[in-house]
Amino acid sequence: MRSAERTGRIGSTALRILAVAAAYYGAAQIGLLYQLVRDQVTPLWPPTGVALAGLLTMGLRVWPGIALGAFLVNVSLGPSLLSVLAITAGNTLAPVCAALMLRRAGFRNELDRLRDVLALVFLGALTGMLISSTIGSGVLVLSGAVDAGDFWPTWSVWWTGDAMGILVVTPFLLVLRTARWPARAGPGRWLEAAALAFGTVFTTLVATRTPESSLLFLVSPFLIWAAIRFRLAGAAPCALVVSTLAIQAAAADKGPFAGEDVFADMVTLQAFNGTTALTALLLAAVITERDATHEEIKRVCARLAEMVSRMEPGPDSHEHPPENHPPP
């Protein structure tokens, strides 16, 4: 019996590893559509978000799936087998270290607290992704694929791309994992969601296809709308859509990204994407945490009212004054 249970656990773990590898590989193919450096470094690397989400939801035992997916992606890009193995190690080690730091910080996958979003930003994205960007850029320079003078531009694109994968893709996957069909949502709620989706896409397309960079911030009201009305379930998809459309414009050299070099495009693009992700995630977490605090206060008040009602004496329990009987 124990042997059968052990075999079942091993089989389940193997399936999860293969699922993570397949998801990593598929996400990488999407990310490579918008490469900016050597057909390998992109401003948004979705596999990093997929890897961290897999580690947070399925545990550290699925790390071989990340390594397998990263190897299959990079083996076709080169420049050599040794370089591919080193880049694969960096791409695997970065999300694993990020997951370990988040676990130590008490991170919750629901992202319903401000501290969880801050941990995802500073530990998962900004700190953890230093590993993959440093190893990957160093390998490209040492192998001669990138000139030594291009190390820092390549490193900056790699680091911010991996970080944006964490900030944009990981929250979306965590929300998608717990998403449920809203059975009690009325027609007005669905109409509002449709209006939000259409307005977000239309405004982002206009803002990212117009030369004026100041128009990029027209998207902010829709992110605020999504966070206030739909919490993280609305904020995370909107942030993903906005960032994806902005990256498409940058890769196509359109709008405020036209005619600029890689560094200038990266500064504008990642400043916009970072602002988008932080606005959506932070505001959604603050509102969710406020709602939870309000509900907790209501529960405490209800318990106090119940305790007070139990302590109050009933109408039949009042003491009656003793009757005065005449002396015999």
242 close to 204: Cβ distance less than 8 angstroms: yes
Average pLDDT over the chain reads 87
Residue-level pLDDT at 143: 87
pTM of the full structure: 0.87
104 contacts: CB under 8 Å, gap ≥ 6: none
Angle subtended by helix axes 129-142 and 81-104, to nearest 10: 170
Overall average pLDDT of the 57-81 stretch? 91
Residue-level pLDDT at 315: 58
Other Cβ atoms less than 10 A from the Cβ of 256: the count is 24
CA distance 153 to 45: 16
CA distance 128 to 21: 20
Residue 88 in this model has a pLDDT that exceeds 60:
yes
Query: How distant is the alpha carbon of residue 305 from its chain centre?
Result: 41
pLDDT tens by residue, 141-153:
998 888 888 888 8
Q: For a pLDDT cut of 70, what percent of the chain falls above it?
A: 91
CATH of 7-179, one of 2.60.40, 1.10.3470, 1.10.1760, 3.90.380: 1.10.1760
Q: Tell me the backbone φ, ψ of residue 144, rounded to 5 degrees.
A: 85, 5
| Tokens 């130590």 found at | 104
CA distance 44 to 245: 11
CB half-sphere exposure, 240, CA atoms < 13 A: 21
Residue 253 in this model has a pLDDT that exceeds 60:
yes
212 contacts: CB under 8 Å, gap ≥ 6: 256
Residue-level pLDDT at 310: 83
| Tokens 């948004």 found at | 44
Closest CA to 287 of 298, 295, 276: 295
Radius of gyration of the chain (CA): 27
pLDDT tens by residue, 183-240:
677 888 899 999 999 999 999 999 998 887 778 889 999 999 999 999 999 999 999 9
More confident residue, 121 or 321: 121
Amino acid at 127: T
211 close to 258: Cβ distance less than 8 angstroms: yes
Residue 321 in this model has a pLDDT that exceeds 60:
no
SS3 220: helix
Q: For a pLDDT cut of 90, what percent of the chain falls above it?
A: 55
Residue-level pLDDT at 311: 82
Sign of torsion over alpha carbons 254, 33, 95, 151: negative
